[in-house]
A and B are shown apart, each in its own frame.
Chain A
């Protein structure tokens, strides 16, 4: 994730805790392009304590096809950056095993103005949910597990 010389943060799929939301925001704020930015928009997907059906969850496992997932993440970010008013986007998705409330994904969009930023963030979130090659398994409090599709 971090560049050899400049501590850059590059969108992609990484082991959990590779960096924090604050690391990403600070990285964007240190870039020269921050002069064009009027708003920074963040989304974090975290582990919820219940499944969609209301079953108590104790944790989640994320499995990933890293090569395919990284290609899709790069495509999403490239497309978003082409949108009017978008200065930067960083999308980090983690894989591994996670406890309740732990971070699974961060999407950070830096925009000239809030309108473009909100729209771009929403598009990026909806796209990563549908396009990147990761799978989520919910581990329930009763000891059972289920891959979500």
Chain B
């Protein structure tokens, strides 16, 4: 089964879609990010910190509608993904 990625806020503006299925073999978050940045280079400017060469520290991850607990960025990148997983990268929230 493909991996589904949900896009919100700036990420939705860049991809111009609310969600997307990726059929490529993806085993962890690092591989997913590489695929996303290859597909949408501008996403890198929003969720990737070039100085630390890692995810921005204020970006949270949700897997299958559950927020992943706070963890080191290195651990975020090595997070294992399974077929059919639904992933979202979440920027800091701002309610009405």
Instruction: Please pick, from B6, B8, B58, the residue contacting A135 in the complex, using a CB distance under 8 A.
Output: B8
Assembly CA distance A132 to B9 (angstroms): 14
A104 touches B91 (CB 8 A): no
Contacts A63-B9, A137-B9 hold; do A45 and B95 have CB atoms under 8 A apart? yes
Given the complex, which residues of B lie within 8 Å of A62, measured CB to CB? 96
Is A108 positioned at the interface, with any CB of B under 8 Å from its CB? Answer: no
| A-B contact number at CB 8 A | 60
On chain A, which size bracket covers the interface?
20 to 34
Is A22 positioned at the interface, with any CB of B under 8 Å from its CB? Answer: no
Q: A-facing mask of B49-69, CB < 8 A → 1, else 0? A: 000000000100010010100
Classify the interface of chain A: helix, strand, loop or mixed.
strand
Assembly CA distance A105 to B94 (angstroms): 12
B95 touches A132 (CB 8 A): yes
B95 touches A105 (CB 8 A): yes
Binding site for A on B (CB under 8 A): 6, 8-10, 12, 58, 62, 65, 67, 88, 90-96
Binding site for B on A (CB under 8 A): 45, 60, 62-65, 67-68, 71, 93-94, 104-105, 128-137, 147-149
